[in-house]
Structure 1
């Protein structure tokens, strides 16, 4: 037995399994000992030292290059600033929990930021107006792209029915449980702010460790409070960075442009040049900032870091420093640019002051011209409301002034009365045909139909314009009630948007729902409210005195310490004289009033290089509020500003050139040999070779007294701006080889010479510019700058610069030098020539120059100016109900040209306005007088007169 046991033990010990068991036993003992050592002996030490480490690469943005004027004055630079950021780095058990946590944190963060006087970035494309209604700040393709981003569609074509969603429907969707789940415990305004930040975070796809900027350039107080609460504000931190700053922004905004977050389209384009661009990059959005983007941007740096599970950097591994962007020096003269802007504003104010009269309404006489248009003081009062200078939404606020509250009470009475009248037209048995309504009621009814169309209730695409009832409405022979009832029966109304209660409602039920929709919509409609205020002023329900007092109440005007607003108005001689005095002092500007004229532009070029010394457009805007990210509220305000400050008048607004085109016609006539420099043409007043009276064109001097210019040559024709002379030249240019009149033949000749002067293409300037339009109809009228000629100011500047230097047509440029961050010149931009008019005879140039010199010699505006100047005035009529456009093109000195100056004043009444701006620019540029005599800070009324054009 023992022997058996011994054999068994011996077999076990000698087996491989036994040996393996012993080995595993030893290993297990070691493992137990190691675990004991780690967890029991050294457990606390290891626990304290353990941190989750994740390696990632951080991008270090480069410093954007500066922008200077030609003299080295800084126009755009970067400033160190603190930003508040938020990251989605929390851990949540559900989407609902995540939404609640993020919404609460964002809400707390917004309150902290705003409590310390700072603002969150508001670049969402939906804003809330004073009436509490949502509205888009973009339209057309931009709106569709925005909606595609909202609904997560790669292409706008995939939007389907969402393409027609209103701003309110978008907010409802984003606020709902399927998206951000923003509960009813937040107000609409609070919810919109939370949505703005949530949407910005979603643009980063909620990537952990990728921060979304909530606010920039925040105060030290905000920094302190945020840092104190970092433990409860998950993912929120303070970052040090830089923001773009613009010096004297309103003078240069249209030239320099602004920066902002790259759109997908911009990103795709930029990546073709540099694949380091990312979605979060700030890039040039317009102007020089956009044109020189890749030079200004610089090269990013990188940093290899380790972050903990909360995304905080705990260790730096390696770092590559960024390289600063290059600096751009422009051809613009900062002082000249600012001076010209002020000159234009002063002259516009002077024109307004001369045209404003203490009357309620201007009624033109049968023989009145566009230059006779008068501005009633009631139009001025209403302009302050219509252009949102006075905030009518503030009238109902708790802190409204006594005057505002009184006006609001009268407004409510007026609104109730008008809505009742509209309801009577819709429901009453005595609804009237449109033509029988009062003028006031026509305004309301017309607006109502427009409102229904603009909001998609009235389906424009479904309307049969050949329908007899539709024609009756257009002919004003049926009532609004009949028209809308018929529209419903013909399915011209989208019933899905007017809360029809029954799925299968009849026409009456739909009509009642439409009436309810109309009444509800009109009770909170800013544009409709403005029409009410207009008639309140017209009917003396709202007085000029109240308008003036509210300017003080809302801080638009500042009261002097020594007197009250009421006494100031009384001392001025009443509301009319008070308002006029404030326009004279530029305390109320032409831009604010947005009455005709309220805008203008001036371009000054070096005639020997094509360099642009000044490119001024009035009015302008503050591009600091667009830098880094667009302030949606400010942008919306600009969009609704009736003076259109976002429009670059110098490069984008086209007008007929008027008589400033006559040098083109003169060149064509002389070079084609249809006239000579000495030939005299007899001005017969009415040009009858193509058309007979009364349609035949007339010379401006041929009035009821039948006066004419008599026999004059081409230089004298330019001096007198004789239309008849140039009609004759246009006619001769239009004769075929068989002496038959052909308008197209003449148009082809005019186009040929206009093209030589560079008028067939854009000017070459590096910012956005409208395409020019050389006339394509009526060679006779086109010869004096009418027809379909349409050019921007920079295009006229290119043309006149060519005239001034006798034949070298430069591409205009804003770029002087490209300089690296160490001050080394990388590129010295040289003038580029578009065309040379080498074949133009010297006698032609002499005749044109002499004619332009005589023009200025005859201008009262230039009397007493010793420096010889040459120029040409022009007046272009668009419609008889608006003042004419005013133009002046010139160069100086006449005997040795240095600069060309072109001025356009849309609706400036006459070329006198533009000529006087040109004169003052000459005075300033050539230091012919003290600057204080040119830049007065006061309205400058016209002191001369130009006949003709």
Structure 2
């Protein structure tokens, strides 16, 4: 029986093997047949179509929404343009082949772009200056973020000492970064490419590397290129694999300078922005354009549309063969502002014309500021024309780096040599002085020596070598230094001895050195730093010019050599020969605004204005002067232009309308009037006699008119009219005495704060762009009552306050926006000012006599008395320091009987308030249709003289 079953099992096993073998033979035959079909019958077809259907999804950019003014005038829009893009889709044997191939490809494109008058897209934070040197275009935290990106660090705190490179990444210089990119990272052959080409290859390679982890995302290497470039790329597609032309848009701005502080600009997304946005939206790419400043930034989500998608099948070199499914992008929403374009532009131009006029009025053909010793008034200070000559160089109108560059004129080279000689001599004199056993006392050094000594001490403190917190201000040697009786070398030696200077903060030095060794190390540190210190070089250039080692005529002529002014050989040669005076030349160019205040960057070079409708609280204009050309920063930032903006002492990137804070001066007096009447310390009929000097407080403040005259006996309305400081000192004093009869500083300040807070003068206004928070005085009620003490307020906050004064107490939460609509014109969100509060504590009679006083302020001014539109307003002169001119302010409204427009204007360092009032008249006139005011716009500097009206 057992044998029987064994035979059955053997037969079944054999059968299964036969079946399995048969199946395997069938499968092999099918496979061979399929291989025969694919490789023999269809082999040529598939060879020619290698990787036929590699699928990739391309994103289709959405059109950014437009920005319009209140009347539908276009302010920011998109212009159709061609962009050159590149994708690295090729395969390489090794890194060397990849570098060589990509560098050659990019060099070819760069050469063709230049031949066609186009340029690469350059958002890089290093540029080549006029002398051919690498320079950073950013500083501070932005520079550290840039360094982190270069070395692949996710956080700036991860920057460390790099052993392979031999330096600290957090301190890497522009030269070290470019050397790292060009020679070590991308192997760009400097024997084959010139410096500029190697630089441009490096920054394009860097941009590509940022995008390398996003498969099939092209990198834009040039934008807004010409038709010639577009045709070249298309015609040479096969020899330039991965390079393509795409239709795109570039952001354009109308009246860019006038609107720059409000609208801002767009730019390539930063690393931080990308990380934040991509966490929520996977369609965000490292090449995206986003808002970088102003409303472009704050309204970015509304303006940015939704990207579309397109499925594409490509061959092995990335050439599209077939298009699959697609989804159209959705355009961004359009933003409409409350601002009136025409008024904004005219206000900007009028502010510039007024500032130029004040400069011309106050300018004198001298080297130093002087005052009338008999008057001692800030308004009597003059503006030395040498300050302007110095600013031609130190505010970068003249590019110092170009003075010795290839192609520089003989005059430029001669001036460069003078600057270099003076700097070298200054350093030699400093070395001798610092090494002397007994140097000259500070007071004996002269202006230049004193400035250098002061600079050294400030620099050591800024570098944390000199610890200012350790200084004993009661120490006899410190007192001698403060009294200018000590030499700088004796002061530094003493500071070392007292451990106010920490020598261990200096690289390579030890705190265990003896005093002589430590001082020698300190000298070497000081002199070594000064040799490369651009601020010290600027200080040295200042004295080169003041000493007439470089003539003003030469500097003015160089404006033509460097193309700052249009070519005019006759004028240029007259300057160079001395037959045309530099002073007359500067007067002429300022008058015509061929040289503009913002370019000079003097203290007196800025202004701001905010115009509102007092009936609704709507902002009609919000102007900061000087502005900048948003078109040069949008899309692909011009690094050298951005650097120039950041270096300018007029700070064009700073919004003076919403961010600058100064004391409001006498524009604050209506607040004090409201406080005094509401608290019962005065009435409308109360009179106070102006005695010139207010002796009830220790500092004995004076009325602005004293000692020339006093205002006599005035009531509150007359005090507003004449801006009598003495009257308001007394009101502030009475507020401080109200609680218990005796003067109480804190009680007085509390009451002033209470009423200033009613006007929201301690809060932001609500505008959708960066805004500083104003602050109300915290001490000295007598001084606070006239808008001094530590009152600090923005122009936009003063505009809201002026609006509330005009409309009898309605305080608005403000906005720059009117509405947002989709691309089809459907309104999706409305904006309007909202009532923040209503000041009900003030009677209509009080408002009325404040308005009457403000009307009389204006009728006392000859230039406004017979103006076509009846205006009411309040001037204000805010003192900044005894060594600089005061700020001029004005708040006002019109027409007086039925106000439809209100404004606040500030001109910093304008000497007196009249100039702010003067330009306010014409801003109001332009809005209300005054023919003379409108005809004045764009005609050149406005020299209005002086009203003789004080405040």
Q: Give TM-score scaled by structure 1 length.
A: 0.90
Q: Which residue of 2 aligns with 1:773?
A: 775
What is the distance in 2 between the residues matched to 1:71 and 1:347? 27
Show CA shifts across 1:865-921 (max 9, x none).
132211000001011111110001000011101010211000011011101001111
Q: Which residue of 2 aligns with 1:207?
A: 214
Mapped contact 1:772–1:795 kept (Cα < 8 A): yes
Query: Any idea what SS the aligned residue of 1:255 has?
Result: helix
What is the distance in 1 between the residues matched to 2:311 and 2:801? 56
Q: Which residue of 2 aligns with 1:795?
A: 797
> Residues 79-118 of structure 1 correspond to what in structure 2 (within 5 A)?
79-118=79-118
Q: Give TM-score scaled by structure 2 length.
A: 0.89
Query: Any idea what SS the aligned residue of 1:890 has?
Result: strand
Shifted more, 528-537 versus 265-274: the winner is 265-274
Alignment counterpart, residue 926 of structure 1, candidates 920, 928, 932? 928
Q: Which residue of 2 aligns with 1:165?
A: 171
Mapped contact 1:671–1:841 kept (Cα < 8 A): no
Alignment counterpart, residue 175 of structure 1, candidates 171, 181, 188? 181
The 3 A distance-change label for structure 1 pair 506 and 231 is farther
What is the distance in 2 between the residues matched to 1:726 and 1:787? 13
> Residues 598-617 of structure 1 correspond to what in structure 2 (within 5 A)?
598-617=605-624
What is the distance in 1 between the residues matched to 2:280 and 2:836? 27
> Residues 288-437 of structure 1 correspond to what in structure 2 (within 5 A)?
288-364=295-371, 366=373, 368-425=376-433, 436-437=444-445
What is the distance in 1 between the residues matched to 2:757 and 2:452? 49
Shifted more, 159-168 versus 514-523: the winner is 514-523
Does 2:220 correspond to 1:239?
Answer: no
Deviation at 1:541? 2.3
What is the distance in 1 between the residues matched to 2:652 and 2:560? 24
What is the distance in 2 between the residues matched to 1:274 and 1:804? 47
Mapped contact 1:333–1:613 kept (Cα < 8 A): yes
What is the distance in 2 between the residues matched to 1:621 and 1:788? 31
Query: Any idea what SS the aligned residue of 1:314 has?
Result: strand
What is the distance in 1 between the residues matched to 2:677 and 2:654? 38
Deviation at 1:442? 4.1
Mapped contact 1:427–1:481 kept (Cα < 8 A): no
Alignment counterpart, residue 812 of structure 2, candidates 810, 813, 816? 810
Deviation at 1:757? 1.2
Q: Extract unaligned runs of 5+ from structure 1.
A: 1-9
Q: Which residue of 2 aligns with 1:823?
A: 825
What is the distance in 2 between the residues matched to 1:700 and 1:495? 50
The 3 A distance-change label for structure 1 pair 131 and 405 is closer
Show CA shifts across 1:617-640 (max 9, x none).
110101112213433222111010
> Residues 487-502 of structure 1 correspond to what in structure 2 (within 5 A)?
492-493=502-503
Show CA shifts across 1:597-631 (max 9, x none).
11111111011111111111110101112213433
Does 2:479 correspond to 1:477?
Answer: no
What is the distance in 1 between the residues matched to 2:196 and 2:322? 41
Show CA shifts across 1:258-284 (max 9, x none).
112333544566579867545443222
What is the distance in 2 between the residues matched to 1:738 and 1:463? 40
Deviation at 1:302? 1.8
Mapped contact 1:89–1:208 kept (Cα < 8 A): no
Deviation at 1:72? 1.2
Q: Which residue of 1 aligns with 2:5?
A: none
Show CA shifts across 1:397-448 (max 9, x none).
2311232233234344434433443444456778656555443344445545
Query: Any idea what SS the aligned residue of 1:196 has?
Result: helix
Deviation at 1:256? 0.7
- Number of residue-to-residue matches in the alignment: 931
Alignment counterpart, residue 554 of structure 2, candidates 546, 550, 554? 546
Deviation at 1:342? 1.1
Shifted more, 443-452 versus 234-243: the winner is 443-452
Mapped contact 2:461–2:467 kept (Cα < 8 A): no
Alignment counterpart, residue 633 of structure 1, candidates 605, 621, 640? 640
What is the distance in 2 between the residues matched to 1:447 and 1:752? 43
RMSD value, Cα:
3.6
Mapped contact 1:325–1:821 kept (Cα < 8 A): yes
Show CA shifts across 1:121-157 (max 9, x none).
3222334444555554444443443343334333444
Alignment counterpart, residue 558 of structure 1, candidates 544, 558, 566? 566
What is the distance in 2 between the residues matched to 1:484 and 1:391? 39
Mapped contact 2:465–2:506 kept (Cα < 8 A): no
What is the distance in 1 between the residues matched to 2:108 and 2:724? 72
What is the distance in 1 between the residues matched to 2:280 and 2:51? 41
The 3 A distance-change label for structure 1 pair 679 and 521 is closer
The 3 A distance-change label for structure 1 pair 219 and 167 is same
Deviation at 1:34? 4.0
Mapped contact 1:685–1:702 kept (Cα < 8 A): yes
Deviation at 1:182? 4.7
Mapped contact 1:302–1:320 kept (Cα < 8 A): yes
Mapped contact 1:13–1:19 kept (Cα < 8 A): no
Q: Which residue of 2 aligns with 1:620?
A: 627
Query: Any idea what SS the aligned residue of 2:920 has?
Result: helix
Does 2:859 correspond to 1:853?
Answer: no
Query: Any idea what SS the aligned residue of 1:612 has?
Result: strand
Deviation at 1:774? 0.7
What is the distance in 2 between the residues matched to 1:667 and 1:462? 44
Does 2:705 correspond to 1:701?
Answer: yes
> Residues 281-292 of structure 1 correspond to what in structure 2 (within 5 A)?
281-292=288-299
What is the distance in 1 between the residues matched to 2:65 and 2:929? 33
Shifted more, 19-28 versus 34-43: the winner is 19-28
Mapped contact 2:812–2:837 kept (Cα < 8 A): yes
The 3 A distance-change label for structure 1 pair 482 and 723 is closer
What is the distance in 2 between the residues matched to 1:839 and 1:496? 62
Alignment counterpart, residue 439 of structure 1, candidates 444, 447, 460? 447
The 3 A distance-change label for structure 1 pair 547 and 50 is closer
Show CA shifts across 1:813-854 (max 9, x none).
211122221222333323311111133211111111111111
The 3 A distance-change label for structure 1 pair 433 and 688 is closer
Mapped contact 1:144–1:163 kept (Cα < 8 A): no
Alignment counterpart, residue 251 of structure 1, candidates 246, 249, 258? 258
What is the distance in 2 between the residues matched to 1:148 and 1:234? 31
Q: Which residue of 2 aligns with 1:947?
A: 949
Mapped contact 2:496–2:515 kept (Cα < 8 A): no
Q: Which residue of 2 aligns with 1:657?
A: 664
Deviation at 1:254? 0.7
What is the distance in 2 between the residues matched to 1:453 and 1:184? 42
Q: Which residue of 1 aligns with 2:542?
A: 534
Query: Any idea what SS the aligned residue of 1:889 has?
Result: strand
Deviation at 1:206? 3.8
Query: Any idea what SS the aligned residue of 1:650 has?
Result: coil
Mapped contact 2:436–2:489 kept (Cα < 8 A): no
Mapped contact 1:76–1:245 kept (Cα < 8 A): yes
Query: Any idea what SS the aligned residue of 1:665 has?
Result: helix
Mapped contact 1:204–1:212 kept (Cα < 8 A): yes
Deviation at 1:792? 0.6
Q: Which residue of 1 aligns with 2:48?
A: 48
Does 2:730 correspond to 1:721?
Answer: no
Shifted more, 415-424 versus 678-687: the winner is 415-424
Q: Which residue of 2 aligns with 1:752?
A: 754
Show CA shifts across 1:640-664 (max 9, x none).
0111111111111111000000101
What is the distance in 1 between the residues matched to 2:580 and 2:238? 63
Q: Which residue of 1 aligns with 2:125?
A: 125
Mapped contact 2:614–2:900 kept (Cα < 8 A): yes
